[in-house]
Every structure is written in structure tokens, then in C-alpha cells.
Amino acid sequence: MSLDLAIASATVDEVWDTAIVPALHDYIAIPNISPAYDPGWAEAGHMDQAVELARRWCKSRPISHMTVEVVRLEGRTPVLLVEVPAAGTGTIADHDPDDTVLLYGHLDKQPPMEGWRDGLGPWSPVLVDGRLYGRGGADDGYAVFASLAALDAVRSAGGAHSRAVVLIECSEESGSPDLPAYVDHLADRIGTPSLVVCLDSGCATYDRLWVTTSLRGNLIGELRVDVLTEGVHSGRAGGIVPSSFRVLRRLIGRVEDDATGHILVPELHGDIPEERMDAIERTAPELGPALDGFPWAGSTTSPDPTPERRMLAGTWEPCLAVTGMDGIPSGARAGNVLRPFTAATLSFRLPPNVDAAVAADALARTFETDPPHGADVHFTVASAESGWDAPPTADWLSEAVDTASTAAFGLDARWMGEGGTIPFMGMLGERFPDAQFLVTGVLGPESNAHGPNEFLDLVTARRITACLATVLDAHARR
């Protein structure tokens, strides 16, 4: 018996309406900020509260023989582990009970950020025009609920799925520092997945299924420039003591062209595979204005003139964002003082095939060698995560994705690289080189993950859940 797509879709809609949306309201209200941004996360208890909410919800689902467990390693954020035995007869899943699909998501969140519109806030779930606003609903709290809803839909619709392991972590927004230890600890229970599903990525539009083919790496570090041991009167020292901010600017100029944003350090660039370039050339003209779906201020425009160039810049080229600064008081508190130091938090996005450790060493050498005016310069790496490039797509997966997208959205699927980073994908790609990957998500135009006014488009989330059910059934029958 094959999957009844109509029943699967109806099951997905019912679960979303009656069970997932209420749970997401409760989840969004929990300020479970990722450990990198909340050193007191363990004492605060918000992470435990979010995990317990997800655990209780999973336990409540009518999926036979499912086990749900919170696993804790000392000194680390917890993970939620759900194991579901295979279902369906006459399939690969039936003949090989160890054949496994691994479904991944995370429950930790980015900080609240400023700039939320009136009536919205990071911990205040608000539903407006089919979009659920609040921190973490789209990135990536919905994943655990959608994963189980898809498994439920497969079973309800007479389909089949392989043994499923749902692994939900709580340190992804910090670079997943705790995850490798759990993957090692749970290796026997995870098994050797033949399919890995990640719902933590994005979609270029909301009218079809978008599958991610690559992810950039992320290197975060602090560049600090000290010129004095304490602040001094700017009238007495100005012109004699070099400004730490000016030195910082000069150092950043060593790695970034200030006119174009082009990264000048060769070790941060990688060769772009021909198949990825071909995909960009096919897809970029079709997207057009969707590539510019940002809250631009004034007359700001991209330095890249064509859709192809913008798509390339956002997926296969390195870039730098200065995400924070220390040593600089607010304007209201600023005095006539030549400050002793300036420190900037630098976030480099790296091409999928660039080694983050090699990039980190190259940046440290570039910044620290022969500093201007002999200033005390240090570049301290906080995290260095390499990117990921998908293996060749199996025919069964390509066909299943198109079938799923057409059934749920009415249009066939598209494949493209994403500019964000999911450290787990690179880790799994190395551990399971024979696995197929379905990486997708709801982070579409204006959804603004990591920023203010983040939202989850509920129609898209339902459709992606239905698509997942179709792919799970196809995987069991491949």
C-alpha cells in the first residue's frame, strides 16, 4: 500500500491546527537563549523548560512504540532523543529494521535583539495573517513538532517509513559545541543513517519546496586593539597617541575591501563547483526581486549588480559582518577621552569548501603581524565551523522531492545553496558519507531569523511537513 497524499496532508493540517500551533505559542514565550549569549543559561532554567515542553508534547503523540528521552551529559546543554520503529510492509524499512533516517533540529534561540514592531516581541507569540511572530518559532523550534507530525501522517495515510531517530539539540545557535559529544555518546542508538533530514534552513520563496545544496561556514572572533592602559584626556593625547578605532579600521582593511566588501585573504576563498555555478545561473534569474527581500534603509542597494552575482555572494563567497563592539561608550555617556582600546566581534561567513581552521590561522596572521604603530593587537577565535556541500543527489530523492513539492505546493521543487551555517551538517557529512540529505526550512523572505520580527509562515510550515511525509515514504520504498 502506498502513501495516500490526501490523507497525509489532512493529518498534517489537523496536527498543526490542534497541537503544534498551541505548543509553539508556549515555546516562543520561553527565553531559552543559546549558551554563547547567556552564560547563566543553566541557572536560569529556560533551556530545561523548553526541552521539557517538547518532551511532553512528543510523549503525547499517538505513535506506537515510540520512545522519548532527554539525555544529559555533565556540563553540557541537553538533547532530546526520540526513537520511532519502522512502519509499513514490503519495503526496505520492513526488510531492514536498522535502516535509519535521522531528523535534526534545535531548541536554543538567538538573543532578543532590538527593533521589534509595536505589538510584537521576542517572547510574545502573536499570530497575524497566518504568520506566528516571536523568537525561535521558525529558527528552529517547529522542527521537532513537524518531524513527529510527518511520521504520524505517514502512518495515518498507509505509508511506510524507516526507523526514525529525532535528535534535537540546544546549542546550535552557539555553533553546536555540545553536539559532537552527544553524537559520540549516542552513536549506537543513532546508527548509520541513510537519510538525514534538517528543517533548519531556508526557502527563497513561499510558493514551492526549496532544498538546500550547500551551507557556508562561520568563523567568529574578537579583534582587540590596545593603545593605552587607561583612557586619557583627548586634548592632551589626541594627535600623539594613535586612535585604537583607527588602528582597528586599518586592520579590518587588511581583510576586507571597504568599497565592495570583497574579502582579501586568499585562504577564505574556495573553488566553486561547476554544478553549483550552473544551478545559480539557472535559478537566480527566476528569483529576481526575491533576492532583495530585506528591510533596506533609505536608498541602500547591494554592491552586486546582477541576481547571479548576489546569489553567488550569498552562498559561495566569504563575507564579514561586525556584529558587536566593546570599549566604546554610548554617545550619551561619551566624554572627551582617548579610549585605551577598541574591540570588535567579527563574524566571517566562509564558502562551503573552506577549512575554518585554516581560515582562522590566516586571519590571525593578517591581523597580528606588524600592527600599525606597534599597537597591542590580538585576534581571539570564539568558534570556527566549516561549511557543507551536499553529496550527489540520488534519483529516488530527486523524484520524491519534486513529487512532494508538486503535491503540497502545486509547483516542482528548486535546489539552491544557503548562506547560513548548520555545524551539524558538516559533521554528519564526514561521519556518514553514504547518506542522502534533505535540508530545507521555512526561513523565507522577511522571516528575519536572528533579527527582530522573526516569524513562522504557518502555511509554508504545513506544506513542508507534508513534503517530509512524502519523502519519508519514498525513502522506505527506494
CA torsion angle 122 56 169 458 (round to 10): -50
Length of the chain measured in residues: 478
Q: What is the pLDDT along the chain (478 residues), one digit of tens a residue?
A: 589 999 999 999 999 999 999 999 999 999 999 999 999 999 999 999 999 999 999 999 999 999 999 999 999 999 999 999 999 988 887 788 889 999 999 999 999 999 999 999 999 999 999 999 999 999 999 999 999 999 999 999 999 999 999 999 999 999 899 999 999 999 999 999 999 999 999 999 999 999 999 999 999 999 999 999 999 999 999 999 999 999 999 999 999 999 999 999 999 999 999 999 999 999 999 888 777 778 899 999 999 889 999 999 999 999 999 999 999 999 999 999 999 999 999 999 999 999 999 999 999 999 999 999 999 999 999 999 999 999 999 999 999 999 999 999 999 999 999 999 998 898 888 899 999 999 999 999 999 999 999 999 999 999 999 999 999 999 999 9
A 10 A CB-CB count for 130 gives 13
Question: Model-level pTM?
Answer: 0.90
Which three three-digit cell numbers place residue 140? Answer: 528552529
C-alpha–C-alpha distance, residues 272 and 445, integer Å: 25
Structural domains of the chain ordered from first start: 5-215+389-477 (3.40.630.10), 217-275+305-385 (3.30.70.360)
Beta strands in 266-361 (DSSP E): 319-326, 337-338, 341-350
| Dist CA 444 CA 398 (whole Å) | 22
Backbone angles phi, psi at 342, to 5 degrees: -135, 135
DSSP state of 1: -
What pLDDT sits at residue 1? Answer: 56
